[in-house]
A and B are shown apart, each in its own frame.
Chain A
Amino acid sequence: MTKSQRNHIDLPALVVVLTLMVMSLGVVYSASATWALEKFGESNRLLNLHALKVLLGIVALFVGMTIDYKKYRKLTKPAVIIAIAFLAFTLVLGGEVKGATRWLQFGGLSLQPSEFAKFALLFHLCSLIAVKGEAIREFKKGFLPMMIWIGSVAALVLLQPNFSTGSMIILMSLVMLFISRAKISHILATLGAALPLLVLVALTRPHVIQRINSFLYGTPGQGSNNYQLYQGIIGFGNGGLFGVGPGESVQRDFFLPESYGDFVFSIVGEEYGLVGTISFMLLFLIFMLRGFKIAKFARDEFGRLLAIGITSVVTMYSCVNAGVTLGILPTTGLPMPFVSYGGSSLLFTSFAVGVLLNISAQTDLHPRAPKVTTPSVSAPGLEDQTVKVY
């Protein structure tokens, strides 16, 4: 393991993620204080729980950072199989929360198998693509096996029903297929086949229809469906340019339901204004740029795909979450990575970022020795050579 960490990790990426986590403590505290006081009689109850989870997340991050990512290659297949088993198990035995069976209890800890499944699938897809190489362009040999994995995981998540995570898994998979130079025609054909199915699932889930309806036809503030969205937008607007100040949010006072969760970004907007929201988005942007840079320098194909995948997942989540709270996208229950109060998602995403940092440590991006020639300059040349190799 020490061998693999020959060089330094990508510090900017780590700093960005840790910054987000630390800031989330303040934001979640502010957003949850009133609610916690009302519910538990102590304003910092949720903060304490969140701090614990952040701590667990940091541990997970460092664990991910220490383990050589290449070791995962042989573990991805069993991991996905376990994930599928978990999903199936949850469907049968999981606790029902808000009409969905998403959680699996481990002692005192409840975990969302879908979060685990998402990353297991991602890792496995990277592994498959890395191995298949150009064969991905062949439908039967390359594309279809991948579709089987994607299909099973996505279907099980959708069945929970967890439409948001399911959609994100599909989206993530599409990104990976796209990046791996799968034939666009294959992707489109699959989509064409899957879409009616997706619609069918959606149609059987009334809340999904409602959300889409209210997104398409609703006006903010009317009806109970997008009450949360309306209050979220009021939060943003109330913050204005510089915000009302830390801890001064009024929307958290029961106007914005679950303000510490998926809509925490609105509280950021209210308390810190445009300056705050743009700063948060810039952090995610920096993370994305660093992630793609790490991918570019990744030592092998698996690492490169993994870096792109992890970066994409984090970026997509931040964008979709912001888009939802701002009313650009239909309401889905997706957290803002590292910022929202949360458990499973925070834990797994942190671990994934750890893996990304491990990849970065194995590149020559930040050499440990002062004078080591980096291959970055010769990258184009390398590209030509390697293409020929395949």
Chain B
Amino acid sequence: MTNQPTPPPNQPIAAGAETPRPPFNGRLLVLKLAFAAFFVIIAARLVQIQVIESSKYQERAKRQYEQKIVLPAVRGNIYDRHNNVLVSNSMFVSFAADPKLIGDDAAVVAEKFSYVFGKPRAFYLSKLRSTTSSGTPRRFVWLERRVRPEVAKRIEAAKLPGIVVLNEPKRLYHYDDVAGTLVGFTDVDNKGISGIELQFDKYLRGKNGSVIMQRDGLGRARPSVDYPRIEPRDGHHLILTIDLAYQSIVEEELKRGVERFKADAALAVMMNPKTGEILALANYPGLNPNDLGSYDIHAARNRVITDIFEPGSVFKVVTAAVAYEHQLVAPDQRFNAENGTYKVALPGGKFRLIKDSHEHAWLSFQEAIEQSSNIVMAKVSLTIGPERLYRQARDFGFGILTGIDLPGEVRGRLKKPFEWSGTTLQTLSYGYEIAATPLQIAAAYAAVANKGVLVQPYIVSRVIDASGEVIFQQSPQTIRRVISAETAELLTRAFEGVVQNGTAKDVRIYGVRIAGKTGTSRKVVDGKYGTGSYTASFAGFFPVEDPQVVCLVMIDNPRAISYYGGLTSGPIFRSIAERMINTTGRFKKIPRTTTNALQAANDISVPDVRTLPLSLAGKILEGHGLRSEKIGEGQIVVRQVPEPGKRLSRGEKVRLLLETENATTASADGTVVPDLRGMSLRRAINRLVVEDFDVKVRGSGVVIDQLPAPGTRVNPGSAIHLLCEPRPTFSAVLY
């Protein structure tokens, strides 16, 4: 209080300021309270935003500053049993956009995309201007997906703002519709949705990696330091039991059969009876997983396991098996076949007719099987009785899932004896009143071929990871012994008789013992057995002495030539078997022909190695799975046989004709080399010997090429190389 402030000159009553005025406590308090209230409101609001609703805002913040870039895992490949690639991936480029970033450049971007991809500008503009439900621009839209890399470059080169370029692997099915239904396909996100792609999706798909990109408000991204980059784990590869060569043959023959017999569809399944490995499995019409748009959705169904049929006479395998197993009949035991029409008395004085397609008076049991007599089977079934017939059918696997590693398998239907009507025993004995999948039928025949032991069919033999480590290996699974080896032997003999003397004579192949059974069943149309609609089938195996292959062919509603299994499915079976035999030579030693062998599995296109050094040419061919043979001396390949672009099977030979010193140093007055191509070897040699050439021969048969080329002048006495191949012959003699 010692210091007195100088009173303001303009205020005469300033003296009053010397002592503090009374505090305006009332109003000051109001002011303080107002401020305090505001502090409380702010604190409350802070708690609301930062605690109660915090997660919501954190989510929003994250959404705007974090962008997860998926690093796609490469889906595993699918190989056939010989490591031929059936399915792999090709890298495609996808374009996405951040419409917010693009903003006013939308028109420019749309223009560029429209120019490159040919879609209207409006298509892209509408995507670029699309908004979320709340009206704000989207941050991510796909513009184009799965574009071929070379097309994509045209966009990338334009350096458009706000465009996100992503590499996306796309499934590539190397053989289009070969095994298409079986392999199945994936959706646009590479997720398996049918066939093996679906069943083994968890192995194939791998695990996508990711990298979190952090964005700033200007939309620029940089990898976040807070989250480690998660590397993708590529999918595992599958190795199938399928043999690509057999699969191709089967599909071609089914197609040919459907066309020839004017049928609706056909299917076939081929397996190794000893192991259960499925060697081929085909549906026609099938589908091309590379081009799904043009196919009916039903084509994706693998009818070998998803559809059920009344097997008809092929089911007689069960009736015969149980009759032999329990020694109820002997093969030569004779039955009255009633001349094709058999009246069965039903309770209540009614009759039921059983008819055979061929009329016979008396037949041995063996002959009854060969001629597929329903009447004899019906008679035998009475001796068998319901319980034994049912149990045998059950043992063969009818009415039970085979357990194959494919999606969508159905069980079919085998009625239990207490559900049977008075006629079921007899109708079942020749294959009606039962529903079975083609695979079940094939498996039953496999059991016969495998000396009475039923094995589980399977299609994936190995799963290996990207580094080749085996993740999973399927070993053959025995299910049960169905019949004794002796019974199997008797059945095999009966079925060989079917091919030799019975309903399937069209199946015979010279030099190969084939056993099998035909079946022709009327299809149920609108709950009734129609007259014009049949399912014709043939189930068989070969070679009889050591069965390697069981194959079932079914053809749906053949309308031309015949509707009998022996005359439709039988010939298809034969064509398949014939081509298999010719391709591999495994089943029978018969002259191998070039034509059929090349048709069979000509999956390798011969590369052009002309003008290359010999060593390099050899390596290139080796890389393609082909062998090479050099002809002539020198280091440079001048010609090759076959020519580039021709198709060969794995392991086949390409002959490389090398430039000889003689040819280059030939004097102008030398002898002209004659054209020997197309001549028989004998004639060619005679001609050359006459002209005093030194003859060097490779192969035998017909001269297909020569070195030096015709017309070249060489010194007298020079060596002429002749390249020969066997004369084309017919593969098999048909009876």
Evaluate contact between A255 and B216: CB separation under 8 angstroms: yes
Select the residue from B2, B9, B32 with max chain A CB neighbours within 10 A: B32
B24/A180 in contact, CB under 8 A: yes
Return 8 A-B CB contacts under 8 Å, by A number: A179-B31, A234-B61, A237-B61, A238-B54, A238-B58, A255-B64, A269-B50, A328-B45
A301 touches B58 (CB 8 A): no
5 smallest beta-carbon distances between A and B, as pairs? A237-B57, A254-B217, A253-B216, A70-B5, A383-B22
Q: By CB atoms of chain A within 10 A, which of B18, B35, B136 has the most?
A: B35
Query: Known: A34-B216, A236-B57, A319-B35. Contact between A301 and B64, CB under 8 A?
Result: no
Which one, B9, B135, B215, contacts A74 given CB within 8 A? Answer: B9
Question: What mask results when residues 236 to 251 of chain A are scored 1 for a CB within 8 Å of chain B, else 0?
Answer: 1111110000000011
A386 touching B21 in the complex, CB below 8 Å, given contacts A3-B3, A254-B217:
yes
Contacts of B56 in A (CB 8 A): 237
Q: Which residues of A contact B28 (CB under 8 A)?
A: 179, 292, 295, 308
Q: B20 contacts A236, CB within 8 Å?
A: no
Q: Apart from A300-B5, A312-B31, what are 18 other A-B pairs with CB-CB below 8 Å?
A: A70-B5, A73-B5, A131-B8, A181-B27, A221-B60, A221-B134, A233-B57, A237-B61, A253-B214, A269-B49, A273-B50, A274-B47, A285-B39, A292-B32, A296-B23, A298-B20, A301-B21, A308-B28
- Determine whether the beta carbon of A236 is less than 8 Å from that of B49: yes
Taking CB atoms and an 8 Å cut-off, the chain B residues in 127-179 that contact chain A are: 134-136
- Whole-angstrom distance between the alpha carbons of A234 and B61 in the complex? 6
Give bound CA distance, A390 to B136, whole Å.
65
| Interface check B346, CB cutoff 8 A | no
Partner of B38, one of A179, A181, A277, A323: A323
B42 touches A322 (CB 8 A): yes
The residue that B13 contacts in the complex, of A133, A255, A304, A322, with Cβ under 8 A, is A133
Our pick among B18, B27, B61 for the contact of A250 (Cβ within 8 Å) is B61
Instruction: Chain B residues near A181: list those with CB within 8 A.
Output: 24, 27
Asked if A278 lies at the interface with its beta carbon under 8 angstroms from chain B, I say: yes
Q: Is B10 located at the chain interface by the 8 A CB criterion?
A: yes
B292 within 8 A of A: no
Residue of A nearest to B61 (CB): A238
Q: A188: CB under 8 A from chain B?
A: no
Q: If the complex has contacts A70-B6, A178-B31, are A234 and B60 also in contact, measured as CB distance less than 8 A?
A: yes
Judging by beta carbons under 8 Å apart, are B47 and A250 in contact?
no
With A131-B17, A234-B61 given, is the CB distance from A278 to B46 under 8 Å?
A: yes
For A269, the chain B residues whose CB sits under 8 A away are: 46, 49-50
In contact, B42 and A250 (Cβ under 8 angstroms):
no
- Whether the Cβ atoms of B5 and A281 lie closer than 8 Å is no
> B41 and A328: CB pair below 8 A?
yes
B452: shortest Cβ distance to chain A, in Å? 73
A299 to B5, CA, bound (A): 10
Interface flags, A174-199, vs B, CB<8A=1, else 0: 01001111000000000000000000
**Complex Cα distance A315/B35, Å?**
8
B residues near A4, Cβ cutoff 8 Å: 3
* A204 contacts B by Cβ under 8 Å: no
Q: Is the CB of A251 within 8 A of B49?
A: no
Chain A residue nearest to B1 in the complex (CB):
A299
A294 at the interface (CB under 8 A from B): no
List of B residues within 8 angstroms of A130 by Cβ: 17, 21
Cross-chain contact A299 with B20 (CB below 8 angstroms): yes
* Contact of A288 with B35 in the complex, beta carbons under 8 Å: yes
Given contacts A131-B14, A250-B65, A319-B35, whether A304 and B53 have CB atoms under 8 Å apart is: no
Q: Is B5 within 8 A of A237, CB to CB?
A: no
Say yes or no: is A15 at the interface (Cβ < 8 Å to chain B). no
**Cβ–Cβ < 8 Å partners of A131 in chain B:** 8, 11, 13-14, 16-17
Inter-chain CA distance A345–B135, complex, in Å, is 39
Q: Is B43 an interface residue (CB 8 A)?
A: yes
A70 to B11, CA, bound (A): 14
Q: How far is the CA of A180 from the CA of B5 in the complex (A)?
A: 21
Residues of A within 8 Å of B17, CB to CB, are 130-131, 300-302
> Nearest Cβ distance between residue B16 and chain A, in whole angstroms?
6
A108 to B57, CA, bound (A): 42
Alpha-carbon gap, A281 to B50, bound state (A)? 14
A216 within 8 A of B: no
**Which residues of the other chain, B, contact A389 by a CB distance below 8 angstroms?**
16, 19
Contacts A179-B31, A274-B51, A299-B1 known; A236 to B216 CB distance under 8 Å? no
- Most A-side CB within 10 Å, residue of B30, B43, B216, B217: B217
Contacts of B188 in A (CB 8 A): none
Q: Are B27 and A390 in contact (CB under 8 A)?
A: no
Complex contact A300–B18 (CB within 8 A): yes
B668: chain A residues within 8 A (beta carbon): none
The reply to whether the CB of A127 lies closer than 8 angstroms to some CB of chain B is yes
Contact indicator B43/A281 (Cβ below 8 Å): yes
Q: Which residues of B contact A285 (CB under 8 A)?
A: 39
Q: Determine if A377 is an interface residue (Cβ-Cβ < 8 Å).
A: no
A237 and B50 in contact, given A131-B14, A281-B43, A390-B16 (Cβ under 8 angstroms): yes
Chain A 366-390 near chain B by CB (<8 Å), digits 1 or 0: 0000000000000100111011011
Per-residue interface assignment for chain A, residues 62 to 76, with 1 indicating a CB less than 8 Å from any chain B CB and 0 otherwise: 000000101001100
A384 contacts B65, C-beta separation under 8 Å: no
Contacts of A253 in B (CB 8 A): 65, 214-217
> Cβ of A133 and Cβ of B50 under 8 Å apart?
no
Contacts of A322 in B (CB 8 A): 42
Is B218 positioned at the interface, with any CB of A under 8 Å from its CB? yes
A300 contact from B20, B27, B47, Cβ within 8 A: B20
Give the complex CA separation of A383 and B32 in angstroms: 19
A residues less than 8 Å from B136 (CB atoms): 221-222
- Give CA–CA (A237, B52) in the complex, Å: 9
Check A384–B51 contact: CB distance below 8 A: no
What is the CA–CA distance of A226 and B92 in the complex, to the nearest angstrom? Answer: 42
CB-CB < 8 A to B21: which residues of A?
A: 130, 133, 301, 304, 386-387, 390
Distance in Å from the Cβ of A126 to the closest Cβ of chain B? 10
Output the least CB separation between A313 and chain B (Å).
12
